[in-house]
Chains A and B, each alone.
Chain A
Amino acid sequence: MTTQPDTSAAPKQTGFAATDVLVNEFDGGPDTVQRAAGTPEELQPHTELGLKDDEYERIRQILGRRPTASELAMYSIMWSEHCSYKSSKVHLRQFGDKAPRGTRMLAGIGENAGVVQISDDLAVTFKVESHNHPSFVEPYQGAATGVGGIVRDILAMGARPIAVMDPLRFGAADHPDTARVLPGVVAGIGGYGNCLGLPNIGGEIVFDPTYQGNPLVNALSIGVLPVERLQHKEAAGVGNIVVLLGARTGRDGIGGVSVLASATFDEGAEQRRPSVQVGDPFMEKLLIESCLELYDAGLVAGIQDLGGAGLTCALTETAAAAGTGMRVWLERVPLREASMSPTEILASESQERMLLIVTPDNLERVLSVAEKWGVWATAIGEVTPSGEDGSPGRLVITWNDHVVVDVPPGSLADDGPVYARPIREPADLILLQADKAETLPRPSTGDELRETVLRMISSPNLCDKTWVTEQYDRYVLGNTVLAQPEDSGVLRIDENTGLGVALSVDGNGRFARLDPYEGARLALAEAYRNVAVTGAEPVAVTDCLNFGSPEDPAVMWQFAEAVRGLADGCQQLGTPVTGGNVSFYNQTGAAAIHPTPVVGVLGVFDNVARRIPMGFPAAGGDGDLIFLLGETSCELSGSEWAWVTHGHLGGRPPKVDLEAERRLAMLMARASEAGHVSAAHDLSDGGLSQALVESCLRRNVGAKVALPDDGQSAFVHLFSESAGRALVAVPRGHDKAFAALASEYGVPCAPLGVTSAEPVLEVRDQFSLPLDEARAAHEATLPALFGGVAELANRHGDPEHAADPTAPAGPDRGDAVLTTAASGAAMETAAPIEAEGIPAASAAEVKEPSPGGPIDPTA
């Protein structure tokens, strides 16, 4: 392994179609090892494949000759940023170095996904990954295969996948291209996940112009396994058979990781569509069932999923992990197109495939399980010994008796280049941090505050996301206890004991732009808090680090700071990073996205029956008491308020006190066990105002509150985004015990008011907001932008009722986001439509949100 500074310029953008280069083998047959040895001077397209000159020279040194066309393609893939982590490796080591001791981690970074033990005999595995570039080029398939890929990672650990979540970031909500990308991405996630039978239990939908040319489509999956079923990827056991299981191999996705994921976009982006894979969720479902049957029958010696980098990655990683060699007959690979060259077969990223290592004795049984499920299974090779001198074996691949590859597998999988890239704080950061939002003009009267609340709850980032989430199945498998819009997704794992998990995934690119170190810790704190307020104990972390080009020192500085922040934060909270993904080159042209570390936190419940939902419970009698936990400071920089009302981004993000977060989490777990809390909601984007509105709307329960009289203005109380806070409802009779518990844990606990059967949010001395009006503002935004209301109205031939898609204006134009007038107009269209029997959510029909919450069993 070498470390070399990389000072070369940005990669040359040629706009080529990946297939043009890769199929360009010499006339009359494939480029063989023999031929490569005889034609050392032949020019090879290494630059077009994303390899630097010095990297190409290293390949020649390793092989002692020029690489064959197939070998060159394999090195370009495996040494790409996506596969080799060459720019991030030196930083990511901190996650291991600073990992807290004594955790429940069974497998960590470097595996397909981290595995965490949650009981004597059960473990869960979870991971978040990016599929950003494919989803921009081809939103439906890009997003769909993002789900498919992360699910196979989970499957490869021996787990049954049990849920997915999707943190999504798009450009301005009203930008025409967002109307292209978002519906496609959402349909792709739904189309794949729904068909796979995995509930979608949460995620994020964020709009910001920074993601205009580069949306972020991250996908998280979680699975469960008996501890003893944990699988490994080592291709151990000389003479064992290498079996390719699943879909046939086609020409899709060639160059996906090297062309799409490891370079910035330019004008030629649409020509890269062939680099996007095409998904078949039905095949993946069969693949899942057949793999699980194989695991349970003990027929698998080693397994690796085929994702980015396809067969190349799976063959080299399984062999390298075991130190063995491998002999592969490429013509045995079942193909969709018979004319595929060996290079194409090796580079294809066709989906729904797994590589198995099985003993010769078990081969027949493996093939019959595959046949039962109607899945292709083909013995394509065998494990060969390491060298007589103890050196690792070689990966030898033939195609119709031509030797097209003969390499040491470790040189591809482990010995890729490692760069300590130059880092430099962005030149504009000091000025940006000096431009604080705390000095912006604020609303002050009750009427102004009321109007601001309405404007905020209807803004694209804070509005109701049902238009998206109802396209996802959240019920399948029957273990979803809480799902979006709750703070965390909560799943029951064991039906007998109630053992379960909570999962939340969060990020804030604006905070990270203002301070990447603190931004990463804030993302961690928010996800941690979202898990904690349900009553679960947070235990482990996964991350998806979305950044611009690592060749830009300013981006690299942001990355280094964010990793340092996250590693420090995890150390302090005692929650190890178990795995994740780095996504670089998220930029179009020179403009990088805001640095966007997305953090997933896993929590554990001994019994999910004690989970705390976010909505105020239907008020009986005098209502429950509402408390605000944590401390509110005047922290408006980077806030949603600054963005929505002023289009402002500047200053320093809110302070993070992870010790306070930890105490809050312990308080919530204890309170949940004791049954002291009937509802809890984390305070984050949009502050207290947003939390109050959401907690009220969830079950159409009102609240009467008085803001604390502590010197802070009503405005600061309502819209500051100080971390470490939560809103809780406490049943009468429990308030003293709860307050005592809060005091024991040192969590500030201020009484705010009571829940109320009257469907109104009343803030004493400030304003009163009927929930119908709040709901109308909150729910109209996405249907107006993406078609729901307009589409239904148009279908009824009533153009007057069609929502005007041009009405809302995004903050990137410097306009008001969505004025209350506009949202009111959009809502007016819903009423008459509903009267005709077409669905439109209304306050009246919301009986009980689901899943979750205590339910009237007499219904």
Chain B
Amino acid sequence: MRIGVVTFPGSLDDGDAARAARIAGADVVRLWHGDPDLHGVDAVVLPGGFSYGDALRCGAIARFAPVMESLVDAARGGLPVLGICNGFQILCEAHLLPGALTRNQHLHFRNRDQFLRVESTDTAWTNGFTDGQEILIPVKNGEGCYVADQRTLDQLEAEGRVVARYIRGNPNGSQRDIAAITNEAGNVVGIMPHPEHAVETLTGPSLDGLGFFTSVLRALAGASAGAHAGGHQ
């Protein structure tokens, strides 16, 4: 399975996302912001960082990158996409996910090991977790406070699209402790904390982050088995 990792100018965790996908067992394809060709990848990670220096708003300019034009179409067609931190911000700016990420309520950048509760295991990126599983992965952001209007929040909750919530403390003031959400189809997930930093015992607080990458490989294996059997998505 081939997972693409996009590099924008100012992407920082692209190498980490690639490493995590590799450890999970994927072949990694590095994608370039200026190249609209997705090179036939089976899934895409938009990594953390400060694309375009966070000019205007986080993710506001990356949304217009050539690679995003093809990515938005592909995502609407079912391609699994995971946006981490800045990637989450880009997905919101591209209207693949609702809401927005604003300045942390306490106004500081904050990096800590954060407990989350996985609340939706129906997505392409979380099917390997159990419902309600508590996981520990690093959070690090200055603008990670998730906001949306009440109706959107209610809708996300009603449709089971809150993928993960902060527990034992909310690091940035996100509404309803939301750490990750998904689109209606469950193929696009945005998450503020960094699963790619929790994939090795030597460098991470846990191995919990691997689950996101192994989940998508499982989803892809299932899909391709279905396709070979003549089924449909």
Contact = CB atoms under 8 A, between A and B. Distances in A.
A495 B109 CA distance: 29
Contacts of B54: 195, 282
A239 interface: no
B12 interface: yes
B109 A475 contact: no
B212 to A, nearest CB: 15
Given A838-B170, A850-B113, A608 B202 contact: yes
A195 B48 CA distance: 10
Contacts of A481: 202-203
Contacts of B201: 854-855, 857
Given A792-B106, A851-B204, A845 B9 contact: no
Contacts of A190: 109
A859 B208 contact: yes
Contact of A471 (B105, B110, B202, B207): B110
Nearest to B202: A481
Contact of A850 (B19, B50, B110, B205): B205
A476 B13 contact: yes
Contacts of A792: 106
Contacts of B63: none
A327 interface: no
A475 B12 contact: no
Interface residues of A, number: 52
B203 A373 contact: no
Interface string B42-80: 000000111011110000000000000000000000000
Contacts of B111: 470-475
A518 interface: no
Contact of B113 (A196, A281, A847): A847
Given A839-B170, A840-B169, A191 B109 contact: yes
Interface string A829-859: 0000010011110001101111100111101
Interface centre among A476, A477, A844, A849 (most CB of B within 10 A): A476
Interface in B99-116: 105-106, 108-113, 115
Nearest to B172: A839
A845 B196 contact: no
A850 to B, nearest CB: 4
B4 interface: no
A475 B50 contact: no
A196 B109 CA distance: 14
B196 to A, nearest CB: 7
Given A480-B203, A851-B203, A470 B9 contact: no
Nearest to A851: B203
B195 to A, nearest CB: 11
B70 to A, nearest CB: 20
A479 interface: yes
A499 to B, nearest CB: 13
A101 interface: no
Contacts of B15: 477-478
A95 B52 CA distance: 43
Contacts of B10: 195, 282, 285-286
A285 B7 CA distance: 13
Nearest to A373: B9
Interface in B177-233: 177, 194, 196-197, 200-208
A730 to B, nearest CB: 22
Interface of A: 187, 190-191, 194-197, 280-283, 285-286, 373-374, 470-481, 492, 495, 608-609, 788, 791-792, 795, 834, 837-840, 844-845, 847-851, 854-857, 859
Interface of B: 9-10, 12-13, 15-16, 19, 48-50, 52-55, 105-106, 108-113, 115, 135-136, 138, 140, 142, 168-171, 177, 194, 196-197, 200-208
26 contacts: A187-B108, A194-B109, A195-B10, A195-B54, A285-B10, A471-B108, A471-B110, A474-B111, A475-B16, A475-B138, A475-B203, A477-B15, A478-B200, A479-B203, A481-B203, A492-B203, A608-B202, A792-B106, A840-B169, A845-B168, A850-B204, A851-B202, A851-B205, A855-B206, A857-B207, A859-B208
